[in-house]
Structure 1
């Protein structure tokens, strides 16, 4: 890919039209290499480095560029000098023989929240992440960075509507105020776990249509609600507690 096109990948519309996204920094590139060992899709990356990383051994085609050029391509203010351009995954590249359970995020907006949630799902394993239309782009550089490489290890699907969700998962749970405690028996028996937008939650009409079982994380109620990423963390822990 030409350098002028790579600069455009900071914007969602160009990530979509060009079909690529940026992976910046040594740690993330290492995580990408790990993922490429088990998923052929990630082997199609292209690496750009400054002279500081000229000796870096990589499974991908590598191009050495100047510090000035790297500063123009990178999203961070002080780039390390190593950056990969990666094709966006296709639905087929995220499929697995055992789909397992899913976490569905309805109109999640904060890149940091999504990145943290992906880290949680990667840590526990065995779950995929589904994003509704209107959610933050998971290939936004801020999401990729905050995921710390988890985005390469978690099956991820975007633009999944609530209607499609109900057809795919017959047994849905939702984390919401006023539900049963998630520590009660039965929480682990669902196929899909639904979490709402940071400010608005999930529309009540949608929960009724989905026939979703509501659960609540018990607390002292000193504050109105938990951060979205914290709620997913606790739910994922409970699901894996056995």
Structure 2
């Protein structure tokens, strides 16, 4: 049974301050929870129906708290429209950022991306395209926001997400001598540009794009062209869509 105190605690993890204090985050639903249980993520609490717990005994670690609950109880702590069969609380992953280790990788830097759904989708895209490291500016959305976690669809267990002051990180990264890419309306056509298998792809804020503070570190300006050219079109692309297009072309050229 899910006690009122436990319900209160689970709901409190919707707040960033409480998540940070406890170094925990919440995941909901069979697919997401199963992926995280099968990964390196450490589990603190599992709240599931008797049917789910019976069917997934092999996934459940022996050192976590397991609470059998009914759907009505799970609904009280769920952020989803339809209550899932399982909700789990996991330990936040703490991986130290070593810039020297980025020397042979293609990485993503996110400049003030505010929407949790966009951030989660970009983590999922990075996982799909084999990008293992994302660096977020310190004012990006929180990777452990429940909406972000749901949007990653488990990719958070395979992609390392770090937060850093933009200038501090980019100043250090520039010393690696690798290309730093960003998308602009006056950039070179993405499909005509020779792209490196190593370097940093910078994606900007949903409304403002890449900030002036970050732009000074970019040495390769890219442009995603609309089709057909020179005809009226949307003003811009969603940042997660633009990330998908950009990463796809990088991987196509360096397959």
Same fold at TM > 0.5: yes
* 8 Å contact from structure 2 (residues 45, 89) kept in 1: yes
Residue 129 of structure 1, aligned match among 134, 138, 142: 134
Give CA-to-partner distance per residue, 1:29-59, whole Å, 9 cap, x none.
Answer: 111123x2xx3xx134431112232313133
Residue 240 of structure 2, aligned match among 210, 215, 229: 229
Runs of 4+ with >4 A deviation: 94-98
Residue 24 of structure 1, aligned match among 15, 24, 28: 28
Q: Which residue of 2 aligns with 1:216?
A: 223
Q: Which residue of 1 aligns with 2:11?
A: 7
Looking at structure 1, the residues matched to 86 and 189 of structure 2 have their Cα atoms a distance apart, in angstroms, of 46
Q: Which residue of 2 aligns with 1:113?
A: 118
Specify the SS of the correspondent of 2:114. Answer: coil
* 8 Å contact from structure 2 (residues 99, 173) kept in 1: no
Structure 1 range deviating more: 142-151 or 20-29? 142-151
Shift of residue 28, structure 1, vs aligned partner: 0.3
Q: Which residue of 2 aligns with 1:187?
A: 195
Specify the SS of the correspondent of 2:84. Answer: coil
Q: Which residue of 1 aligns with 2:209?
A: 201
Shift of residue 160, structure 1, vs aligned partner: 4.2
Q: Which residue of 1 aligns with 2:85?
A: 81
In the comparison of the two structures, how many residue pairs are matched? Answer: 234
- The TM-score, its normalising length taken from structure 2, stands at 0.83
Residues 72 and 214 of structure 1, relative CA distance in 2, 3 Å threshold: same
Residues 178 and 73 of structure 1, relative CA distance in 2, 3 Å threshold: same
Gaps of 5+ in 2: none
Q: Which residue of 1 aligns with 2:155?
A: 150
Q: Which residue of 2 aligns with 1:46?
A: 45
Q: Which residue of 2 aligns with 1:178?
A: 186
Q: Which residue of 2 aligns with 1:65?
A: 69
Looking at structure 1, the residues matched to 158 and 100 of structure 2 have their Cα atoms a distance apart, in angstroms, of 15
Gaps of 5+ in 1: none
Shift of residue 157, structure 1, vs aligned partner: 0.9
* 8 Å contact from structure 1 (residues 103, 128) kept in 2: yes
Structure 1 range deviating more: 161-170 or 105-114? 161-170
* 8 Å contact from structure 1 (residues 179, 215) kept in 2: yes
Specify the SS of the correspondent of 2:113. Answer: coil
Give CA-to-partner distance per residue, 1:66-105, whole Å, 9 cap, x none.
Answer: 444322222213211201101111124x879964221111
- The TM-score, its normalising length taken from structure 1, stands at 0.87
